[in-house]
Amino acid sequence: MDKDELYSVLFLCTGNSARSIMAEAILQHHGFGKFNAFSAGSMPKGKVNPLAITVLSKMNHATDKLRSKSWDEFSSEKTTINMDFVFTVCDRAANETCPIWPGQPMTAHWGIEDPDQPDLSEEQQLKLMEKAYWELDHRIKIFTSLPLEKLDKLALQEHLDNIGKTNKDLN
């Protein structure tokens, strides 16, 4: 993959309130100067989970521009952004029929357990949110270290798929 400009990456989740939002913030940080990160949901909740903001702030990520939004913003004919990569981070979004993305991006599923579980205590939810953060952080660091410009599409797809299979129990 040869590219002179920034790679555009979209993280998808159903609600776009926690996992995909965290992935966007993490890639904006680790991929600065090489990647533009975005997130969206098939059925966005319309607000970012406050515990996701708590975890991101604790880890010194910028959160002021994060918002829950529909994937329609990136799949419509009105978009000016051609994605290079689209990653689903929840199993539900991975099983949905996705729109056709401009730019024919490479795709992979990086499933992360849903930390937004209102039936749990706030402390339990915070632990799940932190676990999701560290799993995403680990996978995104692997992704940003790939020599994208030196890999052919088949080799790159294998790497992207394998990142989604990395150890989910990091803590």
Catalytically annotated residues = 13, 90, 98
Q: Which tokens belong to 18? A: 């926690």
Per-residue burial over 148-158, b if 16 or more Cβ lie within 10 Å, else e, is beeeeeeebee
Pairing relationship of beta strands 85-88 and 7-13 according to DSSP bridges: parallel
* Alpha carbon of residue 60 to chain centroid: 18
Degrees, nearest 5: CA angle 108-110-113? 155
Q: Which residue reads 């088949």 in tokens?
A: 154
User: Which residue, among 86, 94, 132, has the nearest Cα to 112 in the 3D structure?
Assistant: 132
> Is the separation of the CB atoms in 39 and 136 below 8 Å?
no
Rounded Cα distance between 9 and 105, Å, is: 9
